[in-house]
């Protein structure tokens, strides 16, 4: 058996344009069967799962593009490149200890680090400052909070009949001009506040052309305006995040990290910097997407060389890059709704405005984004089929099929009533001692997040019994890798477990580790212990007539993560799903007890119908459940994917539970129209979708349903719903 690669851990900090293109290069190589990074562990850390292509942002503001058209899905790109994705905010850097501090989670250790963390707006009076009594101006950088702010202002204008208030924009550079023109086209009334008399577009001809565009759009320009004048938006240049300088890295006056032509940070050969946060000391250029894009081939080549020799501080043969002195700028004029134009700036030359220049700019921008979409198309297979869709799912969707499990238990003579946790004894106070075990192959590549999700999922078995979790033991499976990489994976995994246990007052008691062989990936299994008073202990049944069935949150994790593996899930869908999955359901046990819950289960691998079948098996024969499929809540994107034919790899096995619909579980009337039939089919698919960190299904007195929903909503479970009613057997009358 070959020994693990000696390559270490490369961390890409920030999801800027340069890193996105490096990942694209590596994904293309992997698609062709070549590992550009030589099997090294590579991790991308980004505050968001998407990065916006800045060249299309003016068109987005003008309403020409939608947000998806301008966004690069970093999570999907990482999956295609064989890179781990971590969604986290970076707070500091220690070059000597080689650690990157992340908000809300443990530091990340690295052997090589590349910085592409973007920039922030350089406020004229300092960060977040404003004249006394005035709100601070919104900075245009970073782009994500600025766009959220802009969407809110545009929504206000729409609510006022399409005409917004005056909007003062401080700044006179390209960003200020483009944004003012775009917002004018959307019905706002922008004005520019200049510190001096002239615009700052790089040349006299450019300034004159910019003035003409603003005049044609009736956008006022206020000149020689002091910092005491309040502004709503600041486009006043950029500076790199302060934590770069605080880490002792060499920086220029704008906080950008100074590098050699190899993009290595001066005095720190294991550090690279690029994009808006880096500048080549011998060839300084202003922050611009043009240079960020063109630096990518050199950065990718140098990082590839470094990770192949992780112990060398100065690998030989690194590629040098020298940016050109000037770059062509194409600025959008979105002031005329539905009739965009553009101008071209090149040194002392200025052309336009012209519809032809806009078409040229639009072609360049779309071609840039098409490179990322083309990669996704190739991943789906040359025949147009979604080859990735048939990959075996992970998380709880990796469970053995229910029929196979039942047959194996029967063959072993271990048949019995299925419960979420076993009663193994009593403590000195007479409380029941409960134990359960759960685990699966990693659902996400991030070891900390995967451990957190797995722990919350495993604890759910005890919450479904009304119990409190007291302690956990873990079995951690680590892929074959260099010892220092395995050490990092283990440390992050254990920290993820603890992050879920600490709010519960529970402990990680111990565990065991094993190295996965023959390509086995990261995995985690947990033995979970807890206690509950006998009178508060819930089992799966019996259900009682007159009860309602309450689902504590939406379904759909199985199909969403299957779609993510196939590159067919929107980044926002997965972001929202992961946020919901990390919401601990421990807080629901006490209020459900108070509302009269006596039977409960959690919805996991066998789906809603499969686990409802277990509740019925623990109940009086002949009992019926009237299930309202239309009321079953779905995570964003789940029904759309199910309508499109996407499903988890465990769903076909779970489909045997659909037979319940011909017996003790009854749905409403069948749909008549074609569209309704397709939606009905999707809703049936949702009923058998396997769940990781799925909801609780609690049986409550019908009179307490409204109070239960209100209480769950107050605790953040706004997607909870009453999905069914338990009815008397037909032979006992209605």
Report, as an integer, the average pLDDT of 327-332: 93
Written as six digits, the tokens of 701 are: 């007195």
Q: Is the pLDDT of residue 732 over 80?
A: no
Looking at the structure, do residues 583 and 700 belong to the same domain, yes or no? yes
Final residue of a structural domain among 310, 326, 342: 326
* Nearest by Cα to 441 from 407, 409, 475, 464: 475
Q: Are residues 97 and 131 in the same domain?
A: no
Give yes or no for a contact between 703 and 546, defined as CB atoms under 8 angstroms apart.
Answer: no
The answer on 225 and 91 residing in a single domain is no
pLDDT band at 673 (very low <50, low <70, confident <90, very high): low
Same domain flag for 585 and 671: yes
User: Per-residue confidence at 360, pLDDT binned at 50, 70, 90?
Assistant: very high
Supply the pLDDT for residue 377. 62
Cα angle value 390/393/398 (rounded, 5°): 130
Q: Model confidence at 325, in pLDDT bands (50, 70, 90)?
A: confident
- Minimum mean pLDDT among 56-60, 303-307, 536-540: which range? 303-307
Question: What is residue 419's predicted lDDT score, i.e. its pLDDT?
Answer: 84
541 vs 612: CA distance, rounded Å: 10
Q: 591-594, long-range: CB within 8 Å, 24+ apart, which pairs? A: 591/708, 591/711, 591/712, 591/715, 592/466, 592/696, 592/698, 592/700, 592/708, 593/466, 593/536
The pLDDT of residue 659 is above 90: yes
**381: in domain:** no
Residue 167 included in any domain = yes
pLDDT at 287: 82
pLDDT of residue 678: 72
Q: Domain check: are 100 and 140 in the same one?
A: no
Domain end point (choices 504, 538, 572): 538
Confidence check: pLDDT of 129 > 60: no
Is 372 a member of any domain?
Answer: no
Return the pLDDT at 448.
98
Could you tell me what percent of the chain has a pLDDT over 90?
A: 78
pLDDT at 386 over 80: no
Instruction: Kindly state whether residues 302 and 338 are assigned to the same domain.
Output: no
pLDDT bucket at 228, cuts 50 / 70 / 90: confident
Is residue 374 situated within a structural domain? no
Establish if 549 belongs to a structural domain: yes
Tokens read off for 444 = 């996400």
pLDDT band at 384 (very low <50, low <70, confident <90, very high): very low
Which CATH number goes with the domain that contains 672? 3.90.650.10
Asked whether residue 402 is domain-assigned, the answer is no
Task: Please check whether residue 220 lies inside any domain of the structure.
Answer: yes
CA dihedral defined by 151, 156, 159, 165, rounded to 10 degrees? -130
pLDDT in tens, 585-640: 999 999 999 999 999 999 999 999 999 999 999 999 989 999 999 999 999 999 99
Cα separation, 722 vs 725, in Å, equals: 8
Could you tell me the residue range of the domain that residue 579 belongs to? 539-734
- Are 102 and 48 members of one domain? yes
The C-alpha R_g of the chain, in whole angstroms, comes to: 29
Of 513, 538, 563, the residue that ends a domain is 538
Name which of 31-40, 233-242, 628-637, 683-692 the model is least confident about. Answer: 31-40
**Residue ranges of E strands in 242-287:** 257-259, 264-265, 268-273, 278-280
pLDDT tens per residue, range 255-270: 999 999 999 999 999 9
394-417 mean pLDDT? 82
Give the pLDDT band (50/70/90) at residue 162.
low
Predicted confidence at residue 670, as pLDDT, reads: 57
How far CA 459 is from CA of 105, 375, 513, 529, 586, in Å, comes to: 20, 39, 20, 9, 8
165 pLDDT more than 80 = no
**84 shares its domain with 152:** no
pLDDT at 436 over 80: yes
Q: What does the pLDDT read at residue 734?
A: 46
- pLDDT at position 8 is 84
Overall average pLDDT of the 287-303 stretch: 91
> CATH number of the domain that 80 lies in?
3.50.50.60
Q: Is the pLDDT of residue 415 over 80?
A: no
- Residues 152-169, mean pLDDT to the nearest whole number: 82
Clarify whether residues 552 and 663 are in a common domain: yes
Using 50, 70 and 90 to split pLDDT, how confident is the model at 728?
confident
pLDDT at 405: 82
Q: 549 and 529, same structural domain?
A: no
- Whether residue 327 is predicted with pLDDT greater than 90 in this model: the reply is no
Closest CA to 73 of 20, 35, 146, 116: 20
Give me the pLDDT at residue 671, please.
58
CATH code of the domain covering residue 507: 3.30.1330.10
β-sheet with 221-222: strand ranges across: 138-139, 233-234, 166-170, 189-193, 221-222
Instruction: Identify whether 359 is part of a domain.
Output: no
Same domain, 570 and 522: no
Average pLDDT, the chain: 91
Q: What is the mean pLDDT of residues 455-479?
A: 97
Cα 130 from Cα 710, distance rounded (Å): 41
Quote the pLDDT of residue 232. 95
When divided into structural domains, the chain yields a total of 4
User: Given this model, what pLDDT does residue 130 score?
Assistant: 45
- What burial class does residue 728 get, using C-beta atoms within 10 Å of its C-beta: 0-12 exposed, 13-18 middle, 19+ buried? middle
**pLDDT grade, residue 36 (50/70/90)?**
confident
Residues 267 and 231 placed together within one structural domain of the fold: no
């Amino acid at each position: 058996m070959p020994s693990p690669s000696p390559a270490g851990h490369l961390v890409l900090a920030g999801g800027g344009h340069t890193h996105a293109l490096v990942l694209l290069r590596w994904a293309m190589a992997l698609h062709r069967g070549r590992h550009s990074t030589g099997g090294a562990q590579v991790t991308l850390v980004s505050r968001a799962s998407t990065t916006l292509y800045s060249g299309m942002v003016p068109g987005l503001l003008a309403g020409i593009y939608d947000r998806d058209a301008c966004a690069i899905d970093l999570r999907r790109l990482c999956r295609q490149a064989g890179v781990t994705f971590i969604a986290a905010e970076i707070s500091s850097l220690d070059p000597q200890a080689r650690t990157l501090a992340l908000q809300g989670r443990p530091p990340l250790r690295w052997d090589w680090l590349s910085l592409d963390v973007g920039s922030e707006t350089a406020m004229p009076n300092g960060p977040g400052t404003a004249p006394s009594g005035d709100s601070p101006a919104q900075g245009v950088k970073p782009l994500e909070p600025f766009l959220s702010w802009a969407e809110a202002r545009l929504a206000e204008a729409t609510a006022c009949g399409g005409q917004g208030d005056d909007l003062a924009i401080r700044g006179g550079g390209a960003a200020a001009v483009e944004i003012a023109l775009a917002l004018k086209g959307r019905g706002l009334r922008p004005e520019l506040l200049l510190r001096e008399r002239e615009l700052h577009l790089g040349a006299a001809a450019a300034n004159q052309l910019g003035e003409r565009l603003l005049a044609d759009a009736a956008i006022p320009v206020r000149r020689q305006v002091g910092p005491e004048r309040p502004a709503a938006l600041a486009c006043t240049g950029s500076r790199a995040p302060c934590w770069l300088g605080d880490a002792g890295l060499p920086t220029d006056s704008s906080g950008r990290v100074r590098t050699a032509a190899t993009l290595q940070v001066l005095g720190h050969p294991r550090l690279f910097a690029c994009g808006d946060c880096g500048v080549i000391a011998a060839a300084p250029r202003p922050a611009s997407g043009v240079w960020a894009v063109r630096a990518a081939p050199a950065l990718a080549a140098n990082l590839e060389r470094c990770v192949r020799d992780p112990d060398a501080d100065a690998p030989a043969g690194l590629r040098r890059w020298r940016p050109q002195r000037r770059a062509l700028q194409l600025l959008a004029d979105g002031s005329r709704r539905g009739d965009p134009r553009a101008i071209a700036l090149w040194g002392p030359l200025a052309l336009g405005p012209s519809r032809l220049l806009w078409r040229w700019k639009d072609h360049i921008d779309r071609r840039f984004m098409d490179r990322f979409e083309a990669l996704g198309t190739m991943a789906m297979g040359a025949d147009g089929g979604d080859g990735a869709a048939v990959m075996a799912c992970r998380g709880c969707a990796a469970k053995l099929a229910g029929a196979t499990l039942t047959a194996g238990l029967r063959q072993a003579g271990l048949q019995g009533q299925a419960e979420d946790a076993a009663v193994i004894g009593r403590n000195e106070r007479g409380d029941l001692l409960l134990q359960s075990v759960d685990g699966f192959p990693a659902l996400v590549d991030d070891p900390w997040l995967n451990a957190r999700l797995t722990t919350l999922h495993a604890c759910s078995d005890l919450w479904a019994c009304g119990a409190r979790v007291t302690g956990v033991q873990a079995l951690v499976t680590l892929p074959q890798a260099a010892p220092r990489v395995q050490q990092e994976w283990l440390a992050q995994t254990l920290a993820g477990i603890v992050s879920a246990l600490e709010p519960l007052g529970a402990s990680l008691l111990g565990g065991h580790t094993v190295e996965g062989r023959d390509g086995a990936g990261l995995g985690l299994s947990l033995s979970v212990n807890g206690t509950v008073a006998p009178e508060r202990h819930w089992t799966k049944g019996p259900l009682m007539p007159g009860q309602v069935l309450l689902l504590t949150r939406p379904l759909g994790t199985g199909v969403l993560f299957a779609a993510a593996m196939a590159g067919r899930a929107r980044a926002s869908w997965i972001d929202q799903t992961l946020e919901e999955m990390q919401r601990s359901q421990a807080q629901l046990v006490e209020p459900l007890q108070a509302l009269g819950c006596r039977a409960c289960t959690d919805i996991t691998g066998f789906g809603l119908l499969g686990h409802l079948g277990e509740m019925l098996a623990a109940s009086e024969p002949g009992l019926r459940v009237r299930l309202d499929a239309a009321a079953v809540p779905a995570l964003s994107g789940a029904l759309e994917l199910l309508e499109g034919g996407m499903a988890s790899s465990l769903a076909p096995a779970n489909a045997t539970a659909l037979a319940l619909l011909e017996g003790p579980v009854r749905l409403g009337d069948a749909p008549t129209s074609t569209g309704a039939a397709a939606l009905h089919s999707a809703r049936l698919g949702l009923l058998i979708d396997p769940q990781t960190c799925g909801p609780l299904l609690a049986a409550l007195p019908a009179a307490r349903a409204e109070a239960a929903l209100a209480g769950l909503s107050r605790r953040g479970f706004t997607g909870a719903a009453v999905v069914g009613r338990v009815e008397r057997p037909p032979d006992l009358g209605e």
